[in-house]
Structure 1
Amino acid sequence: MYDVLAIGEVLIDFSVVMAAGVPQMFGSAGGAPANVLAAVTKLGGRGRMVAGIGDDAFGDFVRRALGAVGIDDSGLVRVGARTTLAFVHLAPDGERSFSFDRHPGADTQLRPEHLRDDWFEQAKVVHLGSLALSHEPARSAAHRALDLARDYGRVMTFDVNYRPAVWNDTREAVEQSLRVIGRADVVKCSEEELHLLTGRQSPDEALLELAAAFPETRFLGTLGPDGSIAVIRGECRHIPSIPVQAVDTTAAGDAFFGALLYQLTNDANPDAVRNRLRDDAFWLSALRFANVAGALTATRRGAIDALPALSDILEHMPA
């Protein structure tokens, strides 16, 4: 049994930084669903990645990188496009912006027929990233994944993960995300994404609006150094993080979500995972754990390489 089956993009993240006034670039395997899955496996969980990769050196590289952190790569499919490249531009405070070489990228070429029923039968949680929704045929593959998750009674999680550079327009991104949110059990949004989906400036108001519109979905909001928020017993609760000096926030949100999924699936069968969805005490504890995972990741450069081990998180958990 796998704890998490992740579906979406796996790619090469090239980080662009300035050193003595000269731009320098270094690359690593990344992509939000792959980072989330790597966070799960580095903490001790089991995960399988499903994604399109190119028949090229970058495709070979990401396969080796996922295998190195214990991810089952049997769902990586060679497709007729180059492995997607992302360029992450880092600001001095660690915040980032993105551009992509994706015309088309291999991640957009995953097809519904690539998905195998037994992958879903063997998973406790099915996790989907939003970049799969931006182009066909990956969009159809994503909705096929939603159907299979429903057929096998699996918990479905979704990361809104809005990246303007991959969408034709903002309205399309919102419409596609809301279609998936209506079928998901757990949804993570950044502060920017909460505003995008609702138009509200207040993250609390935005989260409460979404929770009212989709009462069967558990919404989680990330607030960077201010921690996270969740609707608990009808009220918006703030869960603080730990103070750190941020260097690179590229994978902080993915570390947060991966740590949550590790907590959700750890030592639990599929039925127990679903029961935890309704356990408010579980979410308060899991969010504290996830906040620490995200904060520690922001103190290191890179994506998968920056994700913390379980011992790191436990060492920094607030008393």
Structure 2
Amino acid sequence: MADLNRINGNNFVVLGRAGMDLYPDPPGTRTEDATRFYSCLGGSSANIAVALTRHGGRASLVTRVSDDAVGRFVLNQLDHYGIDHRFVTATGGEVRNSLALAETRIEDHQSVIYRNGAADFEMSVDDVSAVDYKAFSALITTGTVFAAEPSRSAAFHAFDLARAAGLPLVFDVDYRPYSWASAQEASETYSRAAALCDIIIGNDVEFGFMAGGYDLGLEKARDLARSTAAIVVYKMGELGAITITPDSEFRTGIYPVEALKPTGAGDSFLGGFIAALAAGHAIRDAVLRGSACASIVVSRVGCAPAMPDKSELETFLAGHPGPSAS
């Protein structure tokens, strides 16, 4: 198990996808009725990197983008948010960047994600080997990187290199069925990845999926904390979260808001949670700050542009009556 105090260095290497998000405009518009769209940076790993930089941290992204206008849009957006993209490789041929059309509406919300021939799945062992892991405070990834080769082998190789350098490994399960050849393959691969990680974050469905049954998910989370992980956060949507360490377990609520959309909460939670740990907050406070970040994002348009900075988070916490009962 790595020393989590290293996270205090606040400099993170993040593996995984960056893409383009398109939102029908104005908010509330259905995709099929839209005549204009709002574009922004998307992709779970890129969103997490944005969240970290908004809180004053540094983030370097390791992935691949398409060698076309959409890939260049992504690179420009990474520059806009101050994310280091020297480890992002543009790839030609028939690969394409991830593209998501997501509505800013709760009722009958629709998200359509295009992932055929995804550029980020081309991330290679050479790509991750180019990183000097000793220069970073932790490695962060989401489960998407494991869904296809060569990205899967590259991600596990990055795990090996990061562990050798003493970095904590942070894993957001982030199960997306459409990216996988089979549920069994996904379950086995996620379980293998989780067993290597120091901090694991997922929802009740994802832990249940790894365990082979929804009712077994919480015990799966507890088993990971007892055996290999230092912190496991078991999220339950509106019911809050259960955070488990080798020595303790506690529940926390959420910060109720009037949501505009359901997307982006998980990425914002992880970024806010890790940023809070890096700032020296206790684990419970870090979970609550991550929960507040998630609430802020679902009340705004977009994902990356909706990520709060430190000042916005403090203002939200000061003006909110507090988390719901856990």
Question: What's the TM-score bracket when you normalise by the shorter of the two chains?
Answer: 0.7 to 0.9
1:265 to 2:278 alignment: yes
SS where residue 144 of structure 2 aligns? helix
Supply the RMSD in Å over aligned alpha carbons: 2.4
**Cα 1:314–1:51, aligned 2, differ >3 Å: closer, same or farther?**
same
Separation in structure 1 between the aligned mates of residue 204 and residue 111 of structure 2, nearest angstrom: 17
Equivalences for residues 79-228 of structure 1 within 5 A = 79-80=91-92, 81-90=94-103, 92-93=105-106, 98-116=111-129, 118-201=131-214, 206-213=217-224, 215-217=227-229, 218-228=231-241
Matched with 1:45 is: 57
1:4 to 2:12 alignment: yes
Separation in structure 2 between the aligned mates of residue 31 and residue 10 of structure 1, nearest angstrom: 4
Amino acid at match of 2:157: R
Q: What is the CA-CA distance between 1:11 and the residue it aligns to?
A: 1.1
Separation in structure 2 between the aligned mates of residue 240 and residue 255 of structure 1, nearest angstrom: 16
- 1:246 equivalent among 234, 245, 259: 259
Q: 1:289-310 deviations in whole A, cap 9, x for unaligned?
A: 1110111111012110111111
**Cα 1:223–1:312, aligned 2, differ >3 Å: closer, same or farther?**
farther
Separation in structure 2 between the aligned mates of residue 108 and residue 259 of structure 1, nearest angstrom: 26
Amino acid at match of 1:139: R
- 1:33 equivalent among 37, 45, 60: 45
Matched with 1:67 is: 79
Please tell me whether the aligned partners of residues 190 and 222 of structure 1 are also in contact (alpha carbons under 8 angstroms).
Answer: yes
Separation in structure 2 between the aligned mates of residue 171 and residue 194 of structure 1, nearest angstrom: 14
**Cα 1:298–1:95, aligned 2, differ >3 Å: closer, same or farther?**
farther
SS where residue 18 of structure 1 aligns? coil
Q: 1:30-87 deviations in whole A, cap 9, x for unaligned?
A: 1111111110000111111111011111111111111111111111111235442233
Please tell me whether the aligned partners of residues 8 and 107 of structure 1 are also in contact (alpha carbons under 8 angstroms).
Answer: yes
Separation in structure 1 between the aligned mates of residue 315 and residue 246 of structure 2, nearest angstrom: 30
Question: What runs of 5+ residues in structure 2 fail to find an aligned partner?
Answer: 1-8
Separation in structure 2 between the aligned mates of residue 26 and residue 82 of structure 1, nearest angstrom: 24
SS where residue 264 of structure 1 aligns? helix
Separation in structure 1 between the aligned mates of residue 104 and residue 59 of structure 2, nearest angstrom: 32
Separation in structure 2 between the aligned mates of residue 119 and residue 140 of structure 1, nearest angstrom: 18
**So what's the TM-score if we normalise by structure 2?**
0.85
Q: What is the CA-CA distance between 1:248 and the residue it aligns to?
A: 1.8
> Per residue, is there more strand in 1 or in 2?
1
Separation in structure 2 between the aligned mates of residue 169 and residue 110 of structure 1, nearest angstrom: 21
* 64-73 vs 151-160, greater mean Cα deviation: 64-73
Matched with 1:276 is: none
Amino acid at match of 1:14: L
Please tell me whether the aligned partners of residues 45 and 266 of structure 1 are also in contact (alpha carbons under 8 angstroms).
Answer: no
Separation in structure 2 between the aligned mates of residue 266 and residue 228 of structure 1, nearest angstrom: 21
**Cα 1:103–1:28, aligned 2, differ >3 Å: closer, same or farther?**
same
Separation in structure 2 between the aligned mates of residue 303 and residue 297 of structure 1, nearest angstrom: 7
Matched with 1:288 is: 288
Please tell me whether the aligned partners of residues 10 and 30 of structure 1 are also in contact (alpha carbons under 8 angstroms).
Answer: yes
**Cα 1:20–1:206, aligned 2, differ >3 Å: closer, same or farther?**
closer
**Cα 1:6–1:20, aligned 2, differ >3 Å: closer, same or farther?**
closer
1:22 to 2:33 alignment: yes
Please tell me whether the aligned partners of residues 19 and 98 of structure 2 are also in contact (alpha carbons under 8 angstroms).
Answer: yes
Amino acid at match of 2:200: V
Amino acid at match of 2:260: V
**So what's the TM-score if we normalise by structure 1?**
0.87
Q: 1:263-299 deviations in whole A, cap 9, x for unaligned?
A: 22237xxxxxxxxxxxxx8211110111101111110
